[in-house]
Homo-oligomer: A and B are copies of this chain.
Amino acid sequence: MYELYYWPGLQGRGEFVRLALEDAGAEYVDVARRATDEGGGVPAMMRLLRSERAAVIPFAPPFLKAGDLIISQAANILFYLGPRLGLAPEEEGARMLANGLQLTIADVVAEAHDTHHPIASDLYYEDQKDAARLNASAFIRQRMPKYLGYFERILTRNPRGDGQIIGAAITYVDLSLFQLIEGLAYAFPRAMARFETHYPALARLRDAVAARPNIARYLASERRIAFNETGIFRRYPELDEDTA
């Protein structure tokens, strides 16, 4: 039984972990979304973050409690969970490649966050709107195509077929690519309008992940929080633009 700790009310970085747990049908508790009187809620998360018992506590959510071990950082959690959930390559070398891809996803996720918070994450969006517009424009024109083009290229080059980005079977990296694409499409519908044309293999991968039975059930459930303007991917129309 795993315990996932993440801010309730937004998908955020916790969602990359949720997708892996859900796809594998793993038993887990999403602790901060539980009722406070059932031992859940943000207070339970804060208790653990401020705990004096563990030597190494996380800097920030998400983190996963697996027995006595408290693992922080989404990519690290997925590296740990991957083999246990049957969602990682078998060999060490391929796991390193998967982790490199996952950390590259983490980089573009951080850049997507910075489009609306380029000055400071603890200032309001409204107080950094001008800088946000400039940042988002550079993200949409340079960075997003560079990252998506990269993932499309790696996907289509997979010698085991382009149904997954690494090896012969779906891994947590594919689930994270699904989430990245969905997030970008939510935040930047105009900039992503021609996504299927430019990135056909990624589009097929996204559809294939969405059709996996456990993922489809999860997405239709109330456990899937809707995208919203407190998460990483935010729909602020003034930050979106048409692209070629």
Chain A interface residues toward B at CB < 8 A:
52, 55-59, 63, 68-69, 71-73, 75-76, 79-80, 93, 96-97, 99-101, 103-104, 107, 110, 114, 118-120, 122-123, 128, 131, 134-135, 138-139, 142-143, 147, 150, 154, 157-159, 166
Q: Report the bound CA distance from A59 to B151 in whole Å.
A: 9
B75–A103 CB distance below 8 A: yes
Collect the chain B residues with CB atoms within 8 Å of residue A69's CB: 93, 96-97
Collect the chain B residues with CB atoms within 8 Å of residue A73's CB: 99-100, 103-104
Distance (whole angstroms) from the CB of A243 to the closest CB of chain B: 16
Q: Report the bound CA distance from A197 to B73 in whole Å.
A: 29
Q: Which 8 pairs of residues, A with B, have the shortest CB-CB distance? A: A120-B138, A72-B100, A73-B103, A56-B97, A131-B131, A59-B104, A118-B118, A119-B134
Q: Report the bound CA distance from A154 to B55 in whole Å.
A: 6
Q: Could you say how many copies of this chain the assembly holds?
A: 2
Q: Report the bound CA distance from A32 to B170 in whole Å.
A: 35
Collect the chain B residues with CB atoms within 8 Å of residue A143's CB: 120
Q: Is the interface of A mostly helix, strand, loop or mixed?
A: helix
Which of B55, B58, B63, B80 lies in contact with A158, CB distance below 8 A? Answer: B55
Distance (whole angstroms) from the CB of A58 to the closest CB of chain B: 7
A76–B100 CB distance below 8 A: yes
Collect the chain B residues with CB atoms within 8 Å of residue A158's CB: 55
A103–B76 CB distance below 8 A: yes
Q: Report the bound CA distance from A83 to B157 in whole Å.
A: 31
Given A104-B73, A119-B134, A138-B119, does the pair A59, B150 have CB atoms closer than 8 Å? yes
Given A55-B154, A93-B69, A159-B55, does the pair A120, B100 have CB atoms closer than 8 Å? no
Which of B57, B68, B107, B166 lies in contact with A154, CB distance below 8 A? Answer: B57
Q: Report the bound CA distance from A99 to B80 in whole Å.
A: 11
Q: 5 other contacts beyond A58-B100, A76-B99, A120-B139, with CB at 8 A cut-off?
A: A52-B157, A76-B96, A79-B96, A80-B96, A110-B110
Which of B75, B119, B122 lies in contact with A131, CB distance below 8 A? Answer: B119
8 pairs from A and B in contact (CB 8 Å cutoff)? A71-B96, A73-B103, A76-B100, A107-B110, A118-B118, A118-B119, A120-B135, A120-B139
